[in-house]
Chains A and B, each alone.
Chain A
Amino acid sequence: MFGEQQRFMLFLIAPAALLLGLFQVVPIVIGANASFRDWALYNPKKTWVGLDHYRAVITDPAFLEVVLPNTFIFMILSVAGSLALGLGLALLLNRPFRGQKIVQTVLMVPLMVAPVIAAIMMRWMFNDQFGIVNAVLEGLGMEGQPWLVQRWTAFGIIVLTDVWLWTPWFTLLLLAGLQSLPKEPFEAAAIDGTTTWRVFSHLTLPMLQPVIVVCVVIRAIDAFRTFDIVWTLTGGGPGRSTELFSIYAYVLAFLNLDLGRGSASAIVGGLIILVVGVVMYRLVDRVTKS
C-alpha cells in the first residue's frame, strides 16, 4: 500500500502522532463529550443535556461582562506593553556600548523565572501590610494602597507582572530582527540626512514589521490562555473581578466540580481563540507578503 519511503516517513511520524492523539485529541474528545452532559463529580449521571451548558456559559453575565472583557483587555495591554518595552530595549541594545553584553544578559533574567515565582514576588511586593511598595510610598509620605483587593490596581499588577515576564522575550526576538536588517539602507539614510525619528518610523519599523507581527500573534494567543500568574496573584479576585477565561473554566470544572459546564466553557474559549488566531494569521500573511 505504501512505498518504502512513505513507510519510513510514517514510522518517523508515528511516535509524535501517537502522543498527540493520546494527550490532545482524546482529551478534547472526552471534554467535548462531557460538555454535552450533566457530568458533575459528585453526581456523575452523565445525562445528555445537549447545548444547555453552552447556553449557560454564553448567557452567564460573569462570563460576558467580566471574564471576556478582562481576557481581551489583559491580552491587549500585556502584549502592547511588552512589545513597546521590548522594542525600546532592543533598539538600545542594538547600538554597541561598554558593558552591552552584560546588560543584555541581565535583561534576560525574567525569561528564566517561572511565572508562578514572579507572581509570588509581585504579591509580596504589593502586599498592603508588609510589601515594599507600600513601605516606599509611606516613606515618601504617601498613602499605601490595598493593591490586590481593588479591581483595577489588582488587574494592573497582573498586567505588570506579565509585561515584566515577557518583555525580554520581545527584546530578544526584536534584537535578532534588528541585527538581521541590512545596514546599507541605514547608511543611505544617514547620507540622505534623515533624522533619527524618521529613520525609526520610515525605515526601522517598516523593515521590522514582519518580525513584530509574528511576535505579537504568538504572544497574543499565548496571553489568552494565561492562568498561573492570575491564579497566584489574585485567584481571580477580588470577588471575580480579575478572572480571565482560563480561571473561569478552571473554577467551573475543578472547584465547582462541574465538568460538563467547565468543558463547555473551555470549548467556547477554544473557539474564540481559534477565530482570533485565524484572523491574526491572515494578518501575518498579508504583512509578510506585501
Chain B
Amino acid sequence: MAAIVLSKLNKHYGSLHHAVKDVDLEIADKEFVALVGPSGCGKSTTLRMIAGLEDISGGEIRIGGKVVNNLPPRDRDIAMVFQNYALYQHMSVYDNLAFGLRNKKVPESEIKAGIDRAAEILGLHELLKRKPRQLSGGQQQRVALGRCIVRNPLVFLFDEPLSNLDAKLRAQMRIEIKRLHAQVPTTSVFVTHDQVEAMTLGDRVVVMRDGRIHQVGTPLAVYGKPVNKFVAGFIGAPAMNFLEVTIRKEAGTVVAESPVLKVAVTEPSSVALEAWQGRRVIMGVRPEHLVLGEGLLSRSFAAKVEVVEQLGSEILLESRVGDARVTVARVPPETAIAAGDQVRLSAQPGRLHFFDPESENVIAA
C-alpha cells in the first residue's frame, strides 16, 4: 500500500521565491496522477520534494502512511525517471539496471531474474550489452524505466520523461508508460508541461500554476468543468477562446452579448448567470464546440476568416470576431473556405463557460 499524502506542502528558495504554496493532495495506492502546468509552476519542485531531492520548507509528505519529510531519498522506496534519462553513461544497460539492486546487495541470480523480467516488459533484451550513448533517446528512456521497474518500488516518479523525445516517439512512449502502469500497477506521479500527456496518462490530472494547485480531477472533469479561466485555457488543444460579453435577459432568456455577437445561454449556465445581469463576464468556448454555419439563429454570430489550416482530417480556422481572435476546430476537411470569407459560427448548446472577470473563477458550467 503506497498512498501519497501531501499536506500544506510549501517550498521557499530564500525569502523571495515561494515555489510551492500550501499544496494539499491525496494520491491513492496504484493511482496514476499527472501534475501539469506551465514552466515554473512548482510541479517539478513538488515531485522532487516527494523524491527527497529537495528539502521541505513546510508541511508534510506521507508515503504509505509514513511521514517521510526527513528521510533521505534512498529510504523512501521510490524510483524516478528523469527528463534527460540520467543513465550511468560508462556502464552497460545491464549494469545500469543492476546498479540499484547491487546497492542493496541483492544476489546476482535475483538481479538477473529481475532484469530479465524488466527487459521482457520493455523489449530491452538486445540492448543489454550496449552503452547508453549507443542507444536512441527512446531506447534510453526505456532503460530508465527499466531501472525503475527492477527496483520494484512503492512509487514511480516521472519528471518530464518525454520532453527530450521527438513528437512521434513521445506518442509511442506515452502508450508504453500507460501499458507499463497496467502491467505493473504502482502509485505514479507524472510531471509534465504537456497537457496531452497529462490527459492521456493520468487517472487524475492536477493543474498547477504559480506554486498552487488550481484543479484536481479526472481528465474529463478538468476538460469539461474547468474551475477557472487558467485551467480552461491550459487544458485542451487548440486552446479555449475567450470573449468579453455582457449578460442580459431578453424575453425570459439569458443572453450573452457584445457589440459583435449575441448568444442565448441555455441551462444550467443560465441559472447561475441570473445574478450577473447587466455585468460584464468572460465567455469561454472551445474551438471544437464551435460549428460553422447558422445553427440556431439565436446562438450564432458573424466572424471573418483570417487563416485556414488544412490538416487533412479537419480544418482549423483562425477567425476574428470584432477585436477577438476565435479558433474553430473540427471543420470538415472538404469545406470550401478561404481567408477573408465571412462566416457564421454557432456554439453547441451547453458548451459555453463563463468566468468572473475579476477573480477569473468559473461562474457556471
Contacts and interface: CB of A to CB of B under 8 A. Distances in A.
- Most interface-central of A187, A192, A195 (chain B CB within 10 A): A192
- Using C-beta atoms within 8 Å of the partner chain, give the interface range for chain B: 20 to 34
B53 A192 contact: no
Interface stretch (A124-132, A135-143, A200-208): A200-208
Contacts of A189: 88, 99
Nearest to A191: B73
Interface residues of A, number: 18
Interface in B65-109: 72-76, 78-80, 82-91, 99-100, 103-104
B87 A190 contact: no
A194 interface: yes
B82 A193 contact: no
B142 interface: no
Contact of A193 (B74, B80, B88): B74
A202 B99 contact: yes
B82 A207 contact: no
A3 interface: no
Contact of B79 (A191, A198, A206): A191
Given A191-B74, A191-B78, A192-B74, A184 B86 contact: yes
A191 B90 contact: no
B103 A187 contact: no
B166 to A, nearest CB: 20
* Overall SS of chain B's interface: loop
A190 B76 CA distance: 11
Given A184-B82, A184-B84, A190 B99 contact: no
Contact of B51 (A185, A191, A206): A191
Interface string A38-54: 00000000000000000
Contact of A191 (B80, B83, B89): B80
Contacts of B286: none
B151 interface: yes
Contacts of B151: 192
Chain A interface SS verdict (over half): helix
Given A184-B82, A187-B80, A192 B100 contact: yes
A190 B74 contact: yes
A182 interface: yes
Nearest to A193: B74
Contact of A187 (B76, B85, B86, B104): B86
Contact of B103 (A182, A192, A206, A207): A192
B349 to A, nearest CB: 50
Contacts of A109: none
B99 A182 contact: no
Contact of A182 (B52, B86, B90, B100): B86
Nearest to A195: B103
Contacts of A182: 84, 86
A182 B91 CA distance: 15
A209 B103 CA distance: 22
A193 B86 contact: no
A106 interface: no
Given A191-B74, A194-B99, A206 B90 contact: yes
A184 B89 CA distance: 12
Nearest to B77: A193
A112 interface: no
Contact of B72 (A184, A190, A198, A207): A190
Given A191-B79, A191-B80, A195-B103, A185 B74 contact: no
Contacts of B89: 185, 207
Contacts of A188: 80, 82, 86, 88, 147
A187 to B, nearest CB: 5
Nearest to B153: A191
A193 B152 CA distance: 13
B109 to A, nearest CB: 20
A199 B346 CA distance: 62
B84 A193 contact: no
A193 B103 contact: yes
Interface in A16-59: none
Interface string B38-52: 000000000000011
Interface in A163-194: 182, 184-185, 187-194
Given A193-B103, A206-B90, 8 more contacts: A182-B84, A188-B82, A190-B73, A191-B73, A193-B104, A194-B103, A195-B103, A207-B90
29 contacts: A182-B86, A184-B86, A185-B88, A185-B89, A187-B73, A188-B80, A188-B88, A189-B88, A191-B53, A191-B73, A191-B76, A191-B78, A192-B74, A192-B99, A192-B100, A192-B147, A193-B73, A193-B74, A193-B75, A193-B100, A193-B103, A193-B104, A194-B74, A195-B103, A198-B103, A202-B91, A203-B88, A206-B90, A207-B89
The 7 tightest CB contacts between A and B, nearest first, are A193-B74, A184-B86, A192-B100, A188-B86, A206-B90, A191-B73, A190-B73
Interface of A: 182, 184-185, 187-195, 198, 202-203, 206-207, 209
